[in-house]
Amino acid sequence: MQKELRITFEEFHDIAELKEEWQVLLRTARTISGKAWSPYSGFCVGAAVRLADGTVITGNNQENAAYPSGLCAERTALFYANANFPELAVETIAISAQNKKGLVSEPVKPCGSCRQVMLETETRFNQPITIVLDGKNSIYVLKGIDTLLPLNFKPESLKG
C-alpha cells in the first residue's frame, strides 16, 4: 500500500506581507545571522525566537574546525530559551541565512537535529511553534514542526 504525506504552508514574496510581529522577528534573525561565527562554510544562519511573554531570544551558528563541535543557530536560540525561561513556551522561530552574496535565494531549512529540538520544545509546552523560513525569493510560514518533520520521533515513541 502506498501512502502520501502532504504539508501545508504559507508563501510570501516580501517581508512587508508578513504580520508585523513576524517581520520584527525575521529582521532580528537577519541581523543576528550577520554575527554568526562561520569561518569555514561562510554560511551564516540566524534564529530569533519569540516566547509567550514577548521576549525575543537570538542565536546564530557557531562553527568549529573540529566538526561537528559547532552548533546551529536554531538550537543555540532554543537551548538558551529553554534553559533561561523554562516556564515560557516558544511561540515563533524565524530563521534567516546569508553567504558572501547576501541573503540566500530560497528559504533556509533547519537540519534534522534542529527539527528534532523544535519537536521536543513543542512537546514540552504542548503548543505548536510558528516557523518562519527566510529567503530572498520567498518566505515560508509553517504552523508546527509536523510540517517539517512529519514522521517524527516523539517522547511517546519511546513507549513502543
Hey, how many other C-beta atoms are within 10 angstroms of the C-beta on 65? 8
Domains present along the chain, CATH in parentheses: 10-150 (3.40.140.10)
pLDDT of residue 130: 98
Tens of pLDDT, residue by residue over 54-84, are: 999 999 999 999 988 899 999 999 999 999 9
Instruction: Write down the catalytic residue from 63, 74, 91, 122.
Output: 74
The amino acid that residue 128 corresponds to is P
- Answer whether the bond into residue 68 is a cis peptide, omega within 30°: yes
Q: Which residue has the cell 502506498?
A: 2
CA dihedral 18, 22, 28, 34 (to 10 degrees): -50
Tens of pLDDT, residue by residue over 86-120, are: 999 999 999 999 999 999 999 999 999 999 999 99
Q: Which of 56, 55, 72 is nearest to 64 (CA)?
A: 72
Confidence bin at 154 (pLDDT 50/70/90): confident
The whole-number average pLDDT for the span 28-41 is 97
The whole-number average pLDDT for the span 134-142 is 98
Q: What does 51-105 look like in DSSP terms, one character per residue?
A: ETTS-EEEEE-B--SSTTSSB-HHHHHHHHHHHH-TTS-EEEEEEEEEETTEE-S
- Give the global pTM: 0.95
Q: What is the number of alpha carbons within 13 Å of residue 50 lying toward its C-beta? A: 21
> Quick check: 140 pLDDT over 90?
yes
CA 64 to mean position of chain CA atoms: 21
53 touches 43 (CB < 8 A): no
The average confidence (pLDDT) of the chain is 96
> Quick check: 160 pLDDT over 80?
no
87 among known catalytic residues: no
pLDDT of residue 68: 83
pLDDT of residue 156: 83
